Structure 1
Amino acid sequence: MTYPSAPEFRGAQFGDIGLAFRIAILATFFVLAFSLDSRATELKRIDEPAKPDFSLPGLDGTTVPLKAFKGHTVLVHFLATWCAPCREELPALTRFLDRSAAHASVIAISVADIDQRLKRVLEQTPVNFPVLLDRERTVTKSWHVTTLPTTYVLDANMKPLLVVEADFQWDTVDIEPATGKLIKNKIREPETTSDYSHQEKKGSDHDL
C-alpha cells in the first residue's frame, strides 16, 4: 500500500487521504494552528486494557518483542522521518533514557518509513534505544495510533498509564526509582524538545 507524503507538523494525522493538493492545504492550516501553542502538550492519564503485544525488526534485522521490556516502565514512541517534531523529539528521549535507564525503557516504532531514510536520520541523530520498523502499520493500527508523534507510557506489567499525542518535552520529567512513576520537575521548559542546553533542575513537582 502506498502512503502519500505527510505534512510536517505537530500532531500530524495520517490515513487514507485523497488528492495531493488537499494535503498541502491541510498542512498549511495545521502548521499555522499548531505553531501558536507548542508548549501546551501534556501527558494524559488513561485507563485502558493492555495493548496488543508485538515483535518488530530493527534496521539490522534483529526482531525485538515488546514483552522483553516487561518489568520496567516503558515508553512506546510512534514516529516517522517525515514528521519534523518526531525528529526533534529524539534527543530529548535519549536524554530521558540516560537519566532513567535503571528504571525505564524506550522503544521507538517507525511508521511506514523508508529504511534508508530512517537510517540517515539515525546517523544524524543517534539514539540509545531500539527503533523498530512497522512497515505495514500493523502495530500502529492495532494500537489505534492516528497522530504522530504519539507516545504511550506502560507500567511494569505493560498496562497503559499515560499517553501524549504530540511531541513532549521529556527533559521536564524523571522516573521515581521506587515506583517507576514519572515525576514532573520544576525546570524552565526548553524552546523545543531538542534544545535543553544545560538548564537548571530545581526539584520535583508531582507525579504525572
Structure 2
Amino acid sequence: MRFSKITWALPFFALLLAGCEGDGLATPDPSLSGRDQEFLALAPKADIPSQFQRYEVADPTGEKPGTVIVDTKHMYLYYILPGGKAMRYGIAAGSEAAGWTGTATIGRKEEWPHWMPPSDMLKRWPHLQPTADAGGLPGGPGNPLGSRAMYLFQGNKDTLYRIHGTNEPEQIGQAVSSGCIRMSNIDAIDLYDRVKVGTKVIVE
C-alpha cells in the first residue's frame, strides 16, 4: 500500500508514505462531480492489462441480478445485470494467507472515504502509527481507500473488509492486498453507483 505526496496532506504523511493507488482519467468525464474530476486527476495512473479492464460479459455465475460476486482465484468482480449479463471488473485481492471468503452485504458506502489503519496493519507496519495517532487520513487522492469504499457487513457486524479504490492500479489482477478487494478508482465509482446498502456480496 502506497501513499502519494500531496500538498493538502499533513506534512508528516509525506515522510511516511510514498504514492497512492488509483486510476485516473485521460480526459475529464462530465458525468463525474467536480471533486471526482479533481481528485482523479491527482491520483496515480497505470495501464491496466486489457483482461482486467471493465467489460459487460455473459453472466458466468447464475446469481440474481443486483448481486456482487468476487472471484478471488481469477481476480474478477462481477455485478450481475438482468438478461444473463454481468459487468466484470478486474481487482486486486488478498493473498491466500490474507484473503477472506464468505457472504456479506454492503452495510455502508462512502465517497473518498477517511482511512484509519486497522490494528493488524499497525502490527505489520509500525511506521503507520503516526497516521493512527493523527486520527487517520482524510479522503482524497492520497488516501489508500481511493475514490469509493463499500463496507462489507455480516448481519450488523462490520467484517473489516471492504471493496474500495486503489492507489496501485498497476497491481490489478494480483494477489497483493491485506484482504480487502481493490478496484481502480474509476471502476470503484462505477460499481458504487450500481450497488446499494444491503446488496449481497459473495466472495469466493
Structure 1 length as normaliser, TM-score?
A: 0.28
Identify the structure with the greater helix proportion.
1
* Higher RCO, Cα 8 Å, sep 6+: 2
Structure 2 length as normaliser, TM-score?
A: 0.28
